[in-house]
Amino acid sequence: MRLRALLDTDALGLRLLGGEDELDRTVRGVMTTDLRDPSRYLSGGELVLTGLAWRHDAADSEPFVRILVGAGVTALAAGEAELGDIPEDLVVACARHRLPLLAVNESVAFATITEHVVRQVSGERAGDLAAVVDRHRRMMTSGPAGGGPDVVLDLLGSDLDLRAWVLSPVGRLVAGPRGAGPALPAELCARLAGEHLAAARTGRRGPHRVGVGTTTYSLFPIGGAGRTGNAAARDARERVLSDWLLAVEADAGDWPAERLDLLHGVTQLIAVERDRRDAARSVRRRLAQEVLELVQAGAAPAEIAARLRVAAPVLLPGLGAAPHWQVVVARVEWEEQGSAAGDAGGRRAEGIGTGPVAQPLLEEILVDPRATGPEQSDRIAVAHTGDEAIALVPLPAVAAEPGGSASGIHADTLLAAVREPLSAGLDGDGRLTLGVSAAVHSAEGLRGALEEARHARRVAAARPGRVCAAGHQELASHVLLLPFVPDDVRRAFTARLLDPLRDYDRRHRAELIPTLEAFLECDGSWTRCAARLHLHVNTLRYRVGRIEQLTGRDLSRLEDKLDFFLALRMS
């Protein structure tokens, strides 16, 4: 706001004592001080209010005014309540340094002036930002994006003093303010995404407010337009798994409607950028879909290899040799209507039609968290069938060699960073399961890799939890067989072997089950098991004897050890 507008506001009772030629200066803020040197708290453009407690004699005025001018202050307003008339030495010093000087009548509180300035400046900033946002929206919808969401977040910071970040539903940091302090920690991103997904699942309208220590974050949903062909008709529980969110470091609970509308406009602008990035993925999606259709149709390896040669430069630009490939299969399932979540007898929906839901979710999960900018999605090619999303992941050849396996995708670490937010988004009636194949180096191995990933996903589906994954390593183990044992057989087998031990432990606190687990993990070694449990060997022998007596089994026999091992795994 202009300094002249303050003088024209009768309710403020301000009188001009000097600086009439400077009344078109802009007031960007207000500060009240009686410090002799307030420069550390000034950033320029302020109206400084003072009660003159810093002034002990006429010599103090000159250095005080010099400090204000050096800090870029717009004007000085001195109160008359303490000294009556404003000292002449202060008037002279302000005139010498061309600093406008105002007198504040003793009947006017500094708080009244402060509130007026803050209200006017905030309103003008919001109006300016709204105009900028509208201009960027028109530019982004009619032509190339002007810097992506980072530009909009910079505007929020510079014009409204709001720090904000764009997060994916899995807690990945998509964009943040540039040069505005450290980025959000990954743990905080995951928590905010989880809180947003949990709140969105309840149907409550945003923004959702989350307290983290002494800081409050307001979370605004960022919806996309038409990413799966019929976004308006999708169920809310599916939509929240693919939409971005805007996290603002502020409590929006008492914001006026105008500011909330402005932030809604910001989310719409960012949604345009989200749709642009999805459109950029369409080429990779189409390549993956073509390869998948060839593999499932049993096409000749030469035909599949030709398609892979087309895909490799797109997914790994600049790669000289043909890469190795991994396959990741994902599936989202929902509880059937009327079945209780977690009910052993309840059936789950088969996931039919959820492939388009799992597709963008798998793309987000597979984004390299170390990458930034548009290249984040360069290596992601995800197709979908009716109930599955299938990713074709290229790896440099060294990644599949014994010494370079760390570069590949591992099921045990794939979900580590995203399990918390996704579990919140699926809580109540949803599950996400993933399977990861081994790396293959040719088209001949791709069909086997697809089947391997599908089998691994079935292994993951047999585990408890909302978000589970399994890798190809587990397919060469007994765990491959366990998921396909009927539930009633599993329950009967484990009950017959373990229920007598559980009942005994419950009555006597004998810890027979933990002893049995440790004994098997130590391969039946008495000394190692006794050391692990901090027991005397004779005590261990007594417990094992009690286990054999209660179950009628002999733990010196391989067959009985195997039965106990499987029973513990299936329990």
Q: Is the pLDDT of residue 375 over 50?
A: no
Distance CA 248, CA 177 (A): 11
Rounded to an integer, the average pLDDT of 217-228 is 68
Q: Which residue has the higher pLDDT, 87 or 414?
A: 87
- Close Cβ partners of 297 (under 8 Å, ≥ 6 residues apart): none
Report pTM.
0.58
Q: Is 119 helix (H, G, I), strand (E, B) or coil?
A: helix
Give me the phi and psi of 534, to 5 degrees please. 60, 45
Query: What does the pLDDT read at residue 419?
Result: 84
Q: What is the reported pLDDT for 145?
A: 45
Strands (DSSP E) along 198-252, which ranges?
A: 208-212, 215-222, 244-248
| Sequence-ordered list of residues with C-beta below 8 angstroms from that of 561, at least 6 positions apart, any chain | 520, 524, 555
Instruction: Tell me the backbone φ, ψ of residue 115, rounded to 5 degrees.
Output: -60, -40
Is 50 in contact with 77 (CB distance < 8 Å)?
yes
C-beta separation of 15 from 102 below 8 A: yes
Reported as type and span, the H/E element at residue 187 is: helix 186-201
pLDDT greater than 50 at residue 338: no
- For the chain, give the mean pLDDT: 79
List, in sequence order, every beta strand (DSSP E) within 370-516: 382-384, 389-395, 430-436, 467-471
Confidence band, pLDDT 50/70/90 cuts, at residue 135? low
Mean pLDDT of all residues in 12-27: 88
pLDDT at 206: 72
Express as a percent the part of the chain with pLDDT over 90.
21
Give the residue from 471, 485, 477 showing the smallest Cα distance to 329: 471
- Of residues 315 and 252, the one with the higher pLDDT is 252
Alpha carbon of residue 41 to chain centroid: 34
Give the gyration radius of the chain's Cα atoms.
34
Residues 391-398 have a mean pLDDT of 74
For residues 124 and 396, what is the distance between their CA atoms, to the nearest angstrom?
Answer: 54
How do strand 389-395 and strand 382-384 relate by DSSP bridges?
antiparallel
Whether the bond between 514 and the residue before it is cis, its omega within 30 degrees of 0, is no
Nearest Cα neighbor of 105 from 10, 1, 20 is: 10
Scanning 316-473, the segments in alpha helix (DSSP H) are 355-366, 411-414, 419-426, 446-461
Comparing C-alpha atoms, which of 438, 460, 466 is closest to residue 450? 438
Name the least confident of 31-45, 237-251, 268-282, 404-418: 404-418
pLDDT of residue 401: 45
Measure the CA–CA gap between 569 and 560, rounded to whole angstroms: 14
Domains (ranges, CATH) in the chain? 3-108 (3.40.1390.20), 146-280 (3.30.450.30), 282-337+352-483 (3.30.70), 487-570 (1.10.10.2840)
Determine the longest span between alpha carbons in the chain, in angstroms: 106
Contact between residue 555 and residue 547 where contact means Cβ atoms under 8 Å apart: yes
Q: Measure the CA–CA gap between 556 and 3, rounded to whole angstroms.
A: 93
- Range of weakest confidence among 36-45, 316-325, 383-392, 512-521: 316-325
pLDDT of residue 261: 78
Mean pLDDT of 403-408: 48
Cα-Cα-Cα-Cα dihedral sign, residues 256, 259, 264, 267:
negative
Between CA 377 and CA 375 the distance in angstroms is: 5
Confidence of residue 399 (pLDDT cuts 50, 70, 90): very low
Question: Residue 565 is encoded by which pair of tokens?
Answer: 């091992």
Spatial separation of the C-alpha atoms in residues 330 and 295, rounded to whole Å? 17
pLDDT at 341: 37
pLDDT digits (tens, 9 = 90+) for 529-560: 999 999 999 999 999 999 999 999 999 888 88
**Which segment, 95-104, 170-179, 272-281, 417-426, is predicted with the most confidence on average?**
95-104
Structure tokens at 404: 């370079």
Q: Which residue has the tokens 């996903």?
A: 457
* pLDDT higher at 364 or 481: 364
Interior/surface letters 349-370, b for 16+ CB within 10 angstroms, e for the rest: bebeebbbbbbbbbbbbbbeee
